[in-house]
Amino acid sequence: MRAVPPSVVSRIAPGSRVDTPFVRLAQDVAALTGWSRYGLAFVLGVVAAAAMPPVDMAPLLVVAFSGLLWLDEGSATAGASFRVGWMFGFGFFVAGLYWIAAALFVDISRFWWLVPLAAAGLPALFAIYVGLVVLGVRLLVGRFGLAPPARVFLFAVLWTVAEWVRGHALTGLPWNLIGYAWAGGFPGGLAMLQSTAVVGIYGLSFLTVLAAALPALLGTPRQGPMRALRRWAPALAAALVILGPAMLGAIRLATTPTRLTETRLRLVQPSIPQSLKWVPGAADSNFHRLIELSAPPAHRRLNAILWPEAASPYFLGRDQAARMAVAATAPSGGYVITGALRANPPPDPMAAFWNSIEAVNSHGQIVARYDKAHLVPFGEYVPFRGLLPVDKITAGTVDLSAGPGPRTISLPGLPPFAPTICYEAIFPGAVVDERHRPAWILNVTNDAWYGRTSSPYQHFAIARTRAVEEGLPLIRVANNGISGVIDPLGRVVARTDLDAIGYVDSPLPAPVAPTPYAEFGDATLLLLLLVGAVPVAWRW
């Protein structure tokens, strides 16, 4: 029989009998050694990733996080704690970010050598965050003698801090934050997602991790009076952490119906394969597909036709013929708002380029423009270009230039909107100019790079969360899906399927009053983390 780790034995009174399945399971997990131990950590990370869209199995987080804490009970050294956390994080990010490697297959003959780096290198790097979380828990628990409940709260606080840092450091990649487990299709998830209107997605991650980790205390032996009640208290506490916010969210959904405005929009989804996107011989056919999908008459007058990211294969500011072809599809008195690559204006030769959104009116004039501010490393520019001997994986050899950041575009006959391009929508608190609050958010994207992977589903769920955080409807226009109209509480009013070719006509939902998160940003997160740290300080 394997020996029970000292960290577990120390909590068992002499002569007591370990008589619950959870306690026995916790001891067996903690007693694992070698590759069985680290292999299980990896598998638990993969299980945690299955909570995200499109699998949407949020309850699996209980298995993942409780298992992780039980595994760390058997860590004999600080290094062992870090390794367990790192292996968990590696499994989580391999399963959650594998789609990044899919983008390389568009031009696999040039970028085959990058596939291992994308599929395993990035997850290995991001796994360091999880390793540091588990290490930090071990060191602080040992230093201050924290009891098991305080350890769980500390774990939830440090995990959330690590997610926040991951979302900001080195340009940030806040993808698959644990709170997004509620943004997909899990039943009742939308009610829980309403919490982001107050504490943002990072705050929802804290609540989710706390609820998923509290059942780990079921593996702690209990003695003394009221033993049965104390045994099940962690499960009851976890249920309250979820049911409390979810009930408030359900009330918010029930008392705030979707209100539709008179503004009507057409979302065009051409589903042009990325392999044909920038082929010179396919430019005309790609352009004509956009024109044809925009041309059918609408049942009611449209205010704007929306095209996805980089939809136009031509530089509209320099190509009058292409611009007039776009203008011919614009509604009378309305606009075609399209993603487009933009070059510096003529007559100077093209030297600088931007990933932009341009609004073209029915007279062929570009009446508004937004330049993407948060560029994708190695996709739109190469960091440390003078040191790294690599090219962008996208077309062209010149790095794109960055725009100034969030802004509000106001056009006659159209409610003011906040433009965002592609993964700019994944950055909480960075999509709206709150000083000039818009009435809706426009997100144009491509997503053709990733095929039928989990990425388009996750990207849609992430953008959906921005609507709830800000209290603003969000219109998402994708090249090959998923496009949709989302109201300010995250309800999907209309959408297209992945890879579908077509268009959707829909009224624009009305916004709601600015949310606490829109007003105060991550200050609400800080307050929540301070409250979460109270049990830690109390037990200390």
What are the C-alpha distances in Å from 44 to residues 88, 195, 204, 421, 537? 6, 26, 21, 34, 29
Q: Rounded distance, CA 387 to CA 476, Å?
A: 37
Q: Rounded distance, CA 16 to CA 98, Å?
A: 47
pLDDT bracket for residue 231 (50, 70, 90): confident
Name the nearest CA neighbour of 6 among 25, 31, 35, 26.
Answer: 31
pLDDT bracket for residue 537 (50, 70, 90): confident
Query: Is a pLDDT exceeding 90 seen at residue 389?
Result: no
List the Cα angle 308/462/334 in 5-degree steps: 30
- Please write the tens of the pLDDT for every residue from 239-285: 999 999 999 999 999 999 999 999 999 999 999 999 898 888 999 99
- Please write the tens of the pLDDT for every residue from 428-456: 999 999 999 999 999 999 999 999 999 99
Average pLDDT of the chain to the nearest whole number? 93
Q: How far is CA 364 from the centre of its chain?
A: 36
Parse the chain into domains and list their residue ranges: 18-105+112-255+522-539, 260-511
Query: Is a pLDDT exceeding 70 seen at residue 227?
Result: no
pLDDT bracket for residue 75 (50, 70, 90): very high
454 CB contacts (<8 Å, ≥6 apart)? 52, 53, 54, 55, 96, 98, 99
**More confident: 349 or 259:** 259
Q: What is the mean pLDDT of residues 304-320?
A: 96
Q: Where are the beta strands (DSSP E) in 216-293?
A: 260-269
Q: How far is CA 199 from the centre of its chain?
A: 16
pLDDT bracket for residue 331 (50, 70, 90): very high
Q: Rounded distance, CA 424 to CA 376, Å?
A: 9
Please tell me the predicted confidence (pLDDT) of residue 10: 41
Query: Is a pLDDT exceeding 70 seen at residue 8?
Result: no
Q: Rounded distance, CA 137 to CA 150, Å?
A: 10
Which residues are catalytic, by number? 309, 372, 422
> Does residue 482 have a cis bond before it (omega within 30 degrees)?
yes
463 CB contacts (<8 Å, ≥6 apart)? 425, 426, 443, 474, 476, 486
CATH architecture for the domain at 260-511: 4-Layer Sandwich (3.60)
Name the nearest CA neighbour of 489 among 174, 242, 265, 189.
Answer: 189
List the Cα angle 397/443/301 in 5-degree steps: 120
The continuous run of DSSP H or E covering 338 comes out as strand 335-343
